[in-house]
Structure 1
Amino acid sequence: MLVFCQKCGKQIPDGAVFCNFCGGQQGVVAGGPPPAPGYPGAPPPPGYPPQAPPGYPPQQAPPPTHPAAYAPAGATDLKCSSCGAPLKPQGGLTLITCDYCGTATTLGSGGWSVIQKHFMLDNRIDQETALQAGGKWLDQGLLRRNVAKNAELLEATLRFVPYWIVPTSVTADIQGLKGGGVTTLNTGQGAAQTGLKIGLSILAGAAAAAAANQRGGHVQMNQPQPVRVRDRINVFYQIPVVGVRGYNKYQPDDGYTFNVQGKSSYDKKKTGGVETLDGDVTEQEANQFAQSLAQKYAEKEARKRVDTLESFVPYFQQSPGELLHAPVWFVRYRHKGTKEMFILIDGNASKVIDGERPSVSLW
C-alpha cells in the first residue's frame, strides 16, 4: 500500500519511522498482512534444484537489498536509507551507524551506501571480570610477580568498536635450509627454539668428548650438511582491522581473531547504551591492511618449516568482508607509579586481545 509523509506529503516506504525527504518522524504504521499459510512460492530459475541436497547446511536468509549508492560523496545531511532517520557525518567519518535502527552506512568511491553485512558480538562480562582477566595476563611469565597487585588502575571503559573482518587466504611458495645446525635468530618463541637447538648441540658435543676421553681417543665431530627445502603452505585468516583511525592500540597484530561464529545481526538495543563508535576507515583500506598482516602471519608460519628462510613468495585471495561491532574493554593502568600501560579485553570471549606489561617485575 502507498504511504505518505505526515509532514511533507511525499511518498515514503511502508513502515518508515522518518521521512527520507524532510526527516519528519512518522506515526506507527502497521505492516502488510502476513502471507497466507501454505502459499506456494515462485518456482526456482531453470537449472537450479528446488531445494538443497541432503546434508547441506541450512541457507541463511539473504540480507535486505539497498541501493548501491543513494547519496553523493560530498553530502553532509543524509537520511538513513532503512528508516529515514537523519544522519550527520562529522569529522571525516566514513562509517556511520544509525542511532535508531542500527543500519551501517559507509562512504565509498561511488558515494554513501549501506553495508549489507553488519554484525555484532554481545558483551558477556562486567568490569570486575575484565579486570580479573587482565590481571592474570599481567602476571604471566617467569619474571613477573604481583604486577596486577602493584598496578594503579586509571581507566576501565567498555566500547563497541567497529572492525572490518576480512577473510584472507595465503598460498606461499617457500625455500630454505633445514638441519646442519643452521638457525635463524628471532625473538620470542623463535628465540626459545633456537636456544634449545644450540643447547642440544652443546650437550651432544660434551657427551662425545667425555666418551672419547674415557677411551683415550680423539673426538671426531661429523657436522651434518643442511638440506634445501622447497615447500608450499596454505593458510587462512579472519583478520580484524579496526575501523577507527587513531585507535591503533585497538588493532590486534599477533593473529588474534574474534569469535565470529557467535555473531548476530547488529541491534542497537543489544548495546545496552554502551558507547558505539563510528569509523573512518574504508573497506578498501581495511582489505589492503589485512593483506599486509596476512603476509606477516604466513611468513611466521613458513619459518616454522625451515631453519633459514631464503625465499617467500605469497599469493593472496580475499573474500568480501563484513563489519563487526565488538565489545572491547580498554584498561589503562600505571605500573609502580611510572609508565602508563594498557590492556584490551574481548568482552565476548573474556580474553586479552593485546596490551603492554613490564618485561621484568619481581617485587
Structure 2
Amino acid sequence: MGPTSPVRIGGLSLFCNQCGGKIADGSVFCNLCGAKQGVVVPAQAPQPGIPQGGASMGQPYNPSAPVQAAAPPPMPQNFKCNSCGGPMKPSAGLALVVCEYCGAVTTMGAGGAAEVFQKHFMLNNKMTNETAMESGGKWLNKGIFRRKVAERSELGAVTLKYVPYWVVPTSVVADFQGTKNAGAGAGAGMMMHGDGKQKAAGAALFALTMAAAAAGGQNRNVQVNQPQVVRVRDRIQLQRNIPVVAVRGYSQYQPEDGFTFELQNKSNFDKRQTGGVDVQSGDVSEAEAKAQAAALAHKFAEREAKKRVDNLESIQVYPTTYDGELLHAPVWFMEYAHKGKQMFILIDGGSGQVMNGERPAFALW
C-alpha cells in the first residue's frame, strides 16, 4: 500500500477516495463532498414513460370509489442513512425521508424496513423572487374578463421549497358517447372545456352560428339552418407522466389542468444543488400515488371528451399505471388577496409555468 492510499476495511475506505476527508466505516457517500465510495456512479436514468406494447384493458375506472390512503408502516425513531451512514430521526408517519447530509431518499418497506430509493431526481430552480412574482402577475391578468388583477391585489408571503412528487407514467383508454350541435350552438363544448386557442376557436364558432340563426330569424327571405344534433361515439387514448404530490395535506401543491414537469431537464438528486432551500420529505407511498394518478387520468379523459361533444352522455375510462420515479421540484408558493379574498398561485421554478392557483373569474374594475 502506497503512502497516499487510503486505509480500507471490508472493501470501503475510511477516507474519501475523492477529497481525502475522513468518513465513517461502511459509508457509501462522503458527507463532505458527496462522492460515492467503492461503487460506480450509475448512468442517467431514462425518462419515465409508457412501456412498449399496450396492456389489455381491465375493469373501467370507477370515479366514485374512494382512494384508500395507505397507512405508512411503523417508522423507527432513529436509524442511519443507508447511503452515507449519517443519523436520521424522521417524523412520525413519513414514508419518504430525505437525509439532511447527502440528500438520499429512504423509503419504508414492510415491517418498517428502510431502503434507499434509487430513482430519485431533481429539477434546478431557474427563478428569482422577482421573476416568480412577474410570472404570477401575468397569469392573474390573463383572460378577457380580467383587467389589472395583479395591480389591484395585495401580495402576501412568497416561499420556495423543494417538494417531492411521484411521477407516474399512465396510459388511458376511454370510450364515450354524446351529442354535438351541427347548427346553431356549435362549438359550445370546445368553448367551455378547451384550453387556450381551443376556447377562443369554440367561442368564435358558437358566436358565428348563433348570430347566423338570429339574422335568419329577422329575415324571412333568408333560409335558416335549423339546429342539428349529431350523435358521437368515439375512443380517447392518452399517455401522461402524471405528477402526484408526495406530501399529505399539500393539496394546493397538486398540479391541475394536466400540468407536467419538463423531465428532459431533470438530473440525479444532489442536495448541494438546492442552494440551501428547504427540501421536504414525504408521507405518500408510491402505491397510493398510483391510485391518485388513476383518478386524475379519469378527470383528464372526461375533459378531453367534453371538448369533442357538446353534451357528454356516458364515458368509461380504463387507466393503467406503471412504476414511476421520485422528483424533487422547486416550487414557488405565492399568497395574495384580491378584494379581501385570500388566494394563491403555485409556480414551477424550473420552467416558470403556473402549476395551480386561484384567480377571480370576472374582474374588470
- TM-score by length of structure 2 reads 0.75
Q: Classify the secondary structure of the residue corresponding to 1:303.
A: helix
Change in CA separation of 1:82 and 1:250 when aligned onto 2, cut-off 3 Å: same
Which residue identity lines up with residue 104 of structure 1 in the other structure? V
In structure 2, how many angstroms separate the alpha carbons of the residues matched to 1:221 and 1:142? 30
Q: Deviations over 1:267-317 (max 9, x none)?
A: 000001011111111111111001100110011112222233223222222
**1:351 aligned onto 2:356:** no
* Contact 1:333/1:341, CA 8 A, preserved across alignment: yes
Q: Which residue of 1 aligns with 2:236?
A: 233
After superposition, residues 7-46 of structure 1 pair within 5 angstroms as 13-14=12-13, 17-19=23-25
Match of 2:160 among 158, 161, 173: 158
Q: Which residue of 1 aligns with 2:321?
A: 318
Root-mean-square deviation (Å): 3.4
* Contact 1:328/1:347, CA 8 A, preserved across alignment: yes
Which residue identity lines up with residue 170 of structure 2 in the other structure? T
Which residue identity lines up with residue 284 of structure 1 in the other structure? A
**1:208 aligned onto 2:216:** yes
After superposition, residues 120-139 of structure 1 pair within 5 angstroms as 120-139=122-141
**1:327 aligned onto 2:350:** no
* Contact 2:161/2:330, CA 8 A, preserved across alignment: yes
Match of 2:278 among 250, 275, 278: 275
Q: Which residue of 1 aligns with 2:114?
A: 112
Q: Tell me whether 97-106 or 124-133 shows the greater mean CA deviation.
A: 97-106
Structure of larger gyration radius: 1
Change in CA separation of 1:12 and 1:85 when aligned onto 2, cut-off 3 Å: farther
* Contact 1:164/1:322, CA 8 A, preserved across alignment: yes
Identity between Structure 1 and Structure 2 (%): 48
* Contact 1:183/1:308, CA 8 A, preserved across alignment: no
Q: Aligned-pair distance for 1:210? A: 4.9
Q: Deviations over 1:324-348 (max 9, x none)?
A: 0000111112224x12211111111
Q: Which residue of 1 aligns with 2:94?
A: 93
Which residue identity lines up with residue 259 of structure 2 in the other structure? Y
Q: Aligned-pair distance for 1:61? A: 6.4
Aligned residues: 314
In structure 2, how many angstroms separate the alpha carbons of the residues matched to 1:298 and 1:194? 19
In structure 1, how many angstroms separate the alpha carbons of the residues matched to 2:37 and 2:256? 47
Change in CA separation of 1:186 and 1:201 when aligned onto 2, cut-off 3 Å: closer
What are structure 1's unaligned runs of at least 5 residues? 5-10, 35-58, 63-71
What are structure 2's unaligned runs of at least 5 residues? 1-5, 17-22, 47-72
In structure 2, how many angstroms separate the alpha carbons of the residues matched to 1:259 and 1:206? 47
Q: Classify the secondary structure of the residue corresponding to 1:281.
A: coil
In structure 2, how many angstroms separate the alpha carbons of the residues matched to 1:361 and 1:317? 41
Q: Deviations over 1:44-74 (max 9, x none)?
A: xxxxxxxxxxxxxxx8569xxxxxxxxx844
Match of 2:247 among 241, 244, 249: 244
Q: Tell me whether 111-120 or 138-147 shows the greater mean CA deviation.
A: 138-147
In structure 2, how many angstroms separate the alpha carbons of the residues matched to 1:264 and 1:30? 16
Which residue identity lines up with residue 176 of structure 2 in the other structure? I
Q: Classify the secondary structure of the residue corresponding to 2:350.
A: coil
* Contact 1:152/1:335, CA 8 A, preserved across alignment: yes
Which residue identity lines up with residue 260 of structure 1 in the other structure? L
